A = this chain, B = another copy of it.
Amino acid sequence: MSHTARVNEILSWYASENAGVRVNLARLLNTGKLAGTGKLVILPVDQGFEHGPAKSFAPNPAGYDPRYHVELAIAAGCNAYAAPLGFIEVAAGHLPGAIPLILKLNNSDSLSSGHDPISAVTGSVRDALRLGCCAIGFTIYPGSPARNDMYEALRELTLEAKEAGLAVVVWSYPRGGKLQKADETAVDVAAYAAHLAAQLGAHIIKVKPPTAHISEMNAKLYADKVGELKTLADRVAHVVQASFGGRRIVIFSGGETKDESAVLDEIRGIHQGGGFGSIVGRNAFQRPKAQAVKLLGDIIDIYAGK
């Protein structure tokens, strides 16, 4: 099966990468219900590590079993499934080759607190290879005093991944240092965070949906742009533009659990703004399976332009 024109166009943005990387990007783009559209919906399940098992899975206890999530991702027609080492080990052993896997290489737990935001590196490129993954995932916290350590860890993993033909997905979450809570999703900060991930060599960039807030440091710079950033679609378009003029895949997180219509409204905004898709975790796996498949299906339909 040859690629669609859109997939070929997207792959052309990564022309400097070796064939292995482009094959794995193609696998991501050619899987699930959105195959060939250039859009992506990914199921990520790292909340057990980040927030604890009960907080994550008690609402839908089937999710304590890691087989549940990879099965959900397949049933819903997602492009890929992303998780930390332990969950990916189960997925790779349970249904090898059934869906592209993204190994999240760093994670942060909630049993400790009060430190500079920095995640532990809990997996490696060699893990991703032995588990048959198509990509690595890595979280950076721009703004954190420890940001340089993260950028440097990412640099080494990115080079190793690319040489091994793996794609690189970067979660870019501004946090810490001089950034206020509201700044973390401010549209100016989100655009900068997405640009940084692209400059660091990410193929796929994940940010949070940007708000209309402008951080203090950029108040003057954006003074005359506020009018153009009123809607979520406007702001998504700004973030996508900041990501190499739209020539990098930028996807958006689903964030905290909310009702379905709120979720779908947000997706429509992302889609209208030219976003490349969503990564939906808690809003998927914390619902009963049938509801989750339905909601993910509705999200996919929006991105498919139905």
Contacts and interface: CB of A to CB of B under 8 A. Distances in A.
Interface in A125-147: 126-127, 130-131, 142-145, 147
A56 to B, nearest CB: 9
Interface residues of A, number: 91
Number of copies: 5
Contacts of A123: 155
Given A15-B93, A245-B65, A54 B191 contact: yes
Contacts of A163: 126, 130
A14 B301 CA distance: 36
Interface in A159-184: 159, 162-163, 174, 176-179
Nearest to A162: B130
A152 interface: yes
By CB atoms of chain B within 10 A, which of A127, A176, A192, A199 has the most?
Answer: A199
Interface of A: 12-18, 48-49, 52-55, 58, 61, 64-68, 84-87, 89-90, 92-94, 96, 107, 109-115, 118-124, 126-127, 130-131, 142-145, 147-148, 151-152, 155-156, 159, 162-163, 174, 176-179, 188-189, 191-193, 195-196, 198-202, 217-218, 221-222, 225, 238, 241-242, 244-247
